[in-house]
Amino acid sequence: MESTGQYILWENHTTVMEFILLGFSAFPKLQGFLCGVVLIIYTTVLMGNSLIIIITKVDASLQTPMYFFLGNYSFLEICYVSVTAPRLLTDLLQLNRSISFTACAIQMYFFLVFGATECFILTAMAYDRYAAICNPLLYHLIMNNRLCVRLATLCWFSSIPIHIGFVYRIFSLTFCSSNQINHYFCDIPAVMKLACGDILMTKTLLYVLTLVVIVTPFILILGSYVKIISTILKLPSATGRAKAFSTCSSHLTVVILFFGSGSIVYLKPISSPSTGIEKIFSLIYTIVIPMFNPMIYCLRNKDAMAALKKLLLKCNDSKT
């Protein structure tokens, strides 16, 4: 056996021990600009979602199931974007884009866990809206504190054991010849393109996981909104219809953007050639949506805006 730094030679076969994240290296003149854009977006994500967490905790009028899940969702967005954005910023600032085998596996694991958690929380939020609009008289009995906590706990922890096994299987594959990942983070399709040998079983598991984590929650959400919209259309008051649509439109916008971009990436065949479009769609659901989350949920929500203004006034009064 002979060690060669990035590879280990074993019986005339080359096994990858380190990866190179190509990211956006094809655009060397744009590295500084891209770094500035990503830094602004990441800062906006941290500040905007932190504000949502604060107002849902301190404002008494927002102590409802909808804002309980929104607070969870905002905290999740901070965790989710922090898996990829800091590494992307580092790679845009330096020439050495190498990432160890272990670090790549850890990044992929947390990305998958937080991504699955986001799918589940968006589904729980859809169920909350369904209960509020389709069963308004029983809403507080259905969405009691115990159920909200149980749903949130299930969303946060249910995907942890599943993805441990799946990530272990991916990194148990043999990687040979090339160690260059044509992506800005260790995403499943990009890493699996480097695997050699028979990966049919791993591909099958990926599609099953996609069905469970992405497709099934999306179908449940769509089913909820079919019921919600049909109920809203039956409301006698135009004001009531407008208010109901307002509380649902923000969530539905995020659902379409997140699930739509994610499905394009994960339902695409692994063997298909990389066109670079995967990076664009990945940027949408890993960085762009977490940035717009506070704007979508606050700017279109009168209660959240009122709570935010109240918080800013308190901060201003405390300074004076």
> What residue spans of 176-301 are helical by DSSP H?
188-192, 200-210, 216-233, 238-266, 277-283, 289-298
Mean pLDDT across 45-58: 90
Collapsing DSSP to helix, strand or coil, 268 comes out as coil
CATH of the domain at 225: 1.20.1070.10
CA distance 46 to 79: 9
| Domain coverage including residue 224 | 2-319
Alpha-carbon distance of 288 to 218, in angstroms, equals 20
- Tell me, what's the pLDDT at 1? 42
- What pTM did the predictor assign? 0.87
pLDDT of residue 91 exceeding 80, the answer is yes
Residue 4 has pLDDT above 50, yes or no: no
How confident is the model at residue 316, as a pLDDT?
66
Residue 77 above 90 pLDDT? yes
Tens of pLDDT, residue by residue over 135-166, are 988 999 999 999 999 999 999 999 899 899 99
pLDDT for residue 283 is more than 70: yes
Whole-number Å distance between alpha carbons of 123 and 117: 10
Q: Max Cα separation, the chain?
A: 78
Lowest mean pLDDT among 34-48, 77-91, 270-284: 270-284
Residue 208 · residue 97 · CB < 8 Å? no
* Total domains present in the chain: 1
Q: Is the pLDDT of residue 9 over 60?
A: no
